[in-house]
Structures are given as structure tokens and as C-alpha cells.
Amino acid sequence: MLLNSMSFEKPVSLAKKMIVVSVAAIFLQACSQGSHSDLKQFVEDAYKDQKPEIEPLPIIEPYKGFDYSAEDENDPFALGNIANARDDSGNLIGQRADTNRRREHLEKFPLDALAMVGTMSQDGVPWVIVKTTTGTAHLATIGNYMGENEGKIREILPDEQRVVLVENVLDSAGRLISRDVEITIDEENE
């Protein structure tokens, strides 16, 4: 008896669900059959007299070409324009000043790889203590060279904790020019 009552409950609940869904579908169908003619008329009349404003297209002027008329001028990108400057004795200016000079140990490092650690004085001669990226410390004095651009030490100023070098670098025309470079103690890295 128990089995029969259980088997009838499922079809009854399924049948109830089917009836509810059918009734809901009928009500929805009945509501949607209205003519809605007033709504359709409003949509047609609402923007009937209004026209959208469109900006006029910009006037496009025809392209005017440019005739390059500098064929008789020097080409700034030609390799022949870089003339090798010579001094009064006929030597190329872009060459090292003293090619026979033996390069010093501190000339193997770029200046940004050298750090000034301190200064000292011996018999009235100022010396600078320079640390390389390899961790070794070196002593240098006025007249010694540092850096890859033949930086010659011109001044050591112990009171100001700085060293002034004169470097020889090539300018854009290939000429060797001198420039002053200063190295100071970097107090942040101590």
C-alpha cells in the first residue's frame, strides 16, 4: 500500500506543474494581444518633424608636393663630410695626445666604475684614494690618469673632497676636445 501511494505522488505533482505553466502561458498570451496603437502612433509622431543636425564635412585642400632642390648642396649624411682635422704640425687631432705613454691601471675602468673614498697628504703632496668595482683601492696624485678617456688629474681639493680631471673626448666631427670632469666622495654609499 505504501508503494502505491508513493508512485502516485510524483505524477500528480508533475501534472500540477504542467497545469500552472499552461495557465501562465495563456495569461501572457492574452495580455500581449492588445493593439497598442497609441504607442505605435507616438513612436511614429515623436521625431517626425525633427531632423538631426549634422556638421558639414571639413574642406580638404589638395596636397601640395615639395620639390627638394638642394641637389647641388652638400649631403649632410655623406661619409666624406667628416674631415679629419689636423693641427699645425700635421698630426690628426682625433688621435691620442701621447701614443707612447703607458696606460695606468685606473684607465682600465670607466669613471662611473671608480669611487673616490678619501684624500690624504704626504710631504705636502695631495693624494686621492680611489676604489674600483673590483674592490681594490688605489692611490693617485696630480698628473696621474683615470678613466677610459685619458682623464688626467689636474687638481685634488681635500677640503672640498673632490678631484678635477681633464678628459680628452671626440666631438661629433671627430676632433679631440678637452673637458673638465669632477669626482666627489659619494657619502650615500659609504
Give the model's pLDDT for residue 144.
94
Give the model's pLDDT for residue 1.
45
pLDDT band for position 141 (cuts 50, 70, 90): very high
Q: What is the CA radius of gyration of the chain?
A: 46
Q: Show Cβ contacts of residue 175 under 8 Å, excluding neighbours closer than 6 positions.
A: 85, 93, 94
Give the model's pLDDT for residue 84.
56
Give the model's pLDDT for residue 169.
82
Residue 144 to residue 152: CA distance in whole angstroms: 6
pLDDT band for position 31 (cuts 50, 70, 90): low
Give the pLDDT confidence of 79-106 residue by residue, as tens digits: 555 555 555 565 555 555 667 788 899 9
pLDDT band for position 127 (cuts 50, 70, 90): very high
Pick the CATH number of 79-189 from 3.40.605.10, 3.40.50.1100, 2.30.30.830, 3.30.465.10: 2.30.30.830
Residue 128 to residue 137: CA distance in whole angstroms: 10
172: DSSP letter: T
Give the model's pLDDT for residue 140.
93
What percent of the chain stands above pLDDT 70? 74
User: What is the arithmetic mean of pLDDT over 39-48?
Assistant: 80
More confident residue, 155 or 89: 155
pLDDT band for position 142 (cuts 50, 70, 90): very high
Q: Is the pLDDT of residue 176 over 80?
A: no
Mean pLDDT lowest for which of 61-75, 90-104, 174-188? 90-104
Q: Is the pLDDT of residue 165 over 90?
A: yes
Q: Which amino acid is at 165?
A: L
What residue spans define the domains of the chain? 79-189
Q: What is the mean pLDDT of the chain?
A: 79
Residue 162 to residue 143: CA distance in whole angstroms: 15
Vertex 108: Cα angle to 90 and 144 (nearest 5): 70
Helix (H, G, I), strand (E, B) or coil at 15: helix
More confident residue, 25 or 175: 25
